[in-house]
Structure 1
Amino acid sequence: MITTKRAFNFNAGPSALPLEVLEKAQKELVNFNNSGMSIMEMSHRSKDYEAVHNDAIARLKSLYSIPDNYEVLFLQGGGSLQFTMVPMNLLKEGQTASYILTGSWSEKAWKEAKLLGITKEAASTKGNAYRNIPALDDIQFSDTDAYVHLTSNNTIFGTQWKDFPLTGNVPLVADMSSDILSKPIDVSSFGIIYAGAQKNLGPSGVTIVIIRKDLLENAKTDIPTILKYSTHADSNSLYNTPPTFGIYMLGEVLKWVEEKGGLQAIEKNNEEKAKLIYDVIDNSNGFYTGHASNESRSLMNITFRVADEELEKQFLAEAKEAGFVGLNGHRSVGGCRASTYNAVPYETCKALADFMIAFQNKNH
């Protein structure tokens, strides 16, 4: 078992994993299922691995109540490869794809799509320094669009969608890399959901794609085989060697979510954790200031600044000394960021809140 002291881990990704999952992986690492091999040494065509693979798919379907007309795929390349695969498969000649810009990652997705077809900006909050999510009434798209794309949670700016636009017959595509599995959602509202695993699902290296089957059937065909969603759907995500250890870990994380009471219990815990830190910010009389507008605040990434630049440097240095990891804001914006993903314990968030109060009391 893991006996060394655990850090107060607020890394934005790769990020904290549940201690119970790490301990189980440690126990099974050398000899999985009495096979005499690690899961990392097994053939991805073996019965032992196949059971792990299919169980992970089944658990994800169960947790999200994914309808039968959707496929769950395990891919590689992170969310960044999906920036290309989505338009490559869905954006046909003569069509337009609409992108809602709420931060750096949605900008990057839009940039890739521009290389492959006609796109347009459906809404943007860039003029407000990405402090908020657009009002649903401000989103402009057409019934003839190939799809509407959004990023459900913005790790850099600390904003998160609370309600999603209703796009009717136009497929809604969501990059959920940083808030997947953090709360219940209605999967049937989306054409595609994709997410890198390294925030809430497991270690880096696995990407999940949940895709409606009609989009598979109607996708473009004149694209490289490995970049077709249908290739992976037809082969149960075993067209090429999958990231087997990552999928094993993902399956264990899904079991952990089930044991914690499912997505509603996870959401409640995430709300309680985030409130600890947001309350300190809100009650600090301006010593700490949050970046995101209150109505758009993320439960996953809490972004804030300290009263002045020198104090902020001191805050981050003292926090590091006290065992807090990953509190520096993204290099593109600076400041501070606490990523409170599913596996970050309540006690870790309480420790940060207490540290912030003590630091303010000492330096106000």
Structure 2
Amino acid sequence: MSKQNKQPLLQRPAVVGVLASLLSIVVGLVLGFVLLVLLNPGAAVGGMRAMLATGFSNMDKLGKVLYQAAPLMMCGLSVGFAFKTGLFNIGASGQYTMGAFFSLLCAIQFQMPWYVCLLAGAVGGAIWGIFPGLFKAYFNVNEVITAIMFNWIGMYLVNLLLANMPNMLASGWGASNSDRTAALNVANPGAILPRGPFAALFGNSSWINISIVITIIFAILVWVILQKTTFGYELKACGLSRDAAQYAGINSKRNIVLSMVISGALSGIGGGIYYLAGTGQYVLEKSILGMGFNGIPVALLASSNPIGTIFASLFISYIQVGGAAMQPAYSSETIDIVIAVIIYLAAFALLMRGIITKAVSGHKGKEGAAK
């Protein structure tokens, strides 16, 4: 192929996607800084410096970035996988919750090893993902409506089950708390994720384990499925046009259900990874866990690309860890608002992609007219 026939660099989808994500991040950081100035002008520069530098300040902080990025990455993969197949999986939070419950059930109640518990988390998330898929495929019910309802159903169901399973609660293992699950280091140390061979590099930080390795493997696996397999091609074909895919002989109903099942399984693994780390306990609360919703900006920032999800989740985790270092100059509520603004604007990658494409096309058209 001659050089004249090669596609210009700025017109290649991968390059445009990366540029769009980077531009979105820059816009988000700039507006985040403006907000810091408005809230506390004297501390704005120091606050932004803390947000951008804390994650690399020491190995313990970097370990925390990786620790928080792992479940975030799985939820981003879940939402992004559904996006690629034409579905909006806003039910990742409920699937994440069910995955956490199934993992903890196997860990505490049945004393299973960590890898069995993680597999159980995938099963729990997949079960909770099948319902929006079935309603969408066979009754044409919008998956957003079904998934939102199942987020609440999942949360209250898990709370109900845990409240009636004394062995699952911390109080059943000698602790005074009855509103949270038992600590794994007491109930079943074998269910805690291994620290892995790289733990020593992080100064044996309590945050570090093999979860980040597991999630990167899943990101690569999802990319291979979507880009290199017939099954992935069929899923994306259904997402682009369900009627056209069905006309071509693809079973669209089956693929819609499978897409939501796989998406749910990915979120479920995220829930399992977070609680099997051994650093947190599931608390019986009245609000939906936010991790599943945080997967939406991760997927948007990555343009639903599984490999891009790795970097998007690391970025969001990084600014969250950095945000905690902005106290006491800024209150925790202020920090949450600033981080939310940055994440919200960083997720405008799709809009930025359109702007870049339009700008490049307009420039190319002017050059053609000049010739």
Shorter-chain TM range is under 0.3
Which of these two proteins has the greater Rg computed from alpha carbons?
2
Higher helix share: 2
| TM-score (structure 1 length as normaliser) | 0.25
Higher strand share: 1
| TM-score (structure 2 length as normaliser) | 0.25
